[in-house]
Amino acid sequence: MRQATNGPGTAVESVRDYPRPPRVEADGRRVTVGHGGRRVASTRDALRVLETHHPPVYYLPMEAVTPGLLVPARRRTWCEWKGTAVYWDLVVDGLRCPGAAWSYPDPSPGFERIRDHLAFHPSRVDRCTVDGEVVTAQEGDFYGGWITSWVAGPFKGGPGTAGW
């Protein structure tokens, strides 16, 4: 993967070098999700899905999520690579955060590793971190990528990027 720089001497990944179709890879960094002052999830067993021009989407094992906080939602979408996604509402102290997470209960061939994992929209929760760094949400409300200092754009998702 070609290295870009993000400030003096800091090596980062370029999303231009991510593959299409996407790749699933293990990530051993501490990944956390917080909302409403509560820890929603924490793991060192996350998977990243890497796709050209998208910041990584982190998929956390279901068992990393604090029990009782997720409620199945009715929403479903289809991804040409991963198959049918189901959505989850996050409920913290009685407050519902619609569509905060999604999963692929029966992923398409090549993406079996994300079965029994959840991805969180960083724009729909208060805080997501990777190794302590607070992530920035990918622009737009469709893709759910996690932008960190070691990932360089340009990123798909904002106005005018649908045709990339």
Section 119-137 average pLDDT: 97
32 vs 8, which has greater pLDDT?
A: 32
Query: What pLDDT is stored for residue 3 in this prediction?
Result: 42
Query: What pLDDT is stored for residue 162 in this prediction?
Result: 74
pLDDT in tens, 17-41: 999 999 999 999 999 999 999 999 9
DSSP string, 115-130: TTEEEE-TTTSSEEEE
- In this predicted structure, which of 31-35, 120-124, 142-146 has the lowest mean pLDDT? 142-146
Q: Is the pLDDT of residue 8 over 50?
A: no
Region 13-149: CATH code: 2.170.150.40
- In this predicted structure, which of 67-71, 123-127, 140-144 has the lowest mean pLDDT? 140-144
Domains of the chain, by residue range, sit at 13-149
Query: What pLDDT is stored for residue 74 in this prediction?
Result: 95
Question: CB neighbours (10 Å) of residue 161?
Answer: 13
pLDDT in tens, 42-101: 999 999 999 999 999 999 999 999 999 999 999 999 999 999 999 999 999 999 999 999
- In this predicted structure, which of 9-13, 41-45, 86-90, 151-155 has the lowest mean pLDDT? 9-13
Section 105-132 average pLDDT: 97
Strands (E), the chain: 3-5, 11-14, 23-27, 31-35, 38-43, 46-51, 54-61, 70-79, 83-92, 95-103, 117-120, 127-130, 133-134, 136-137, 146-147, 151-152
Specify the amino acid at residue 23: R
SS3 76: strand
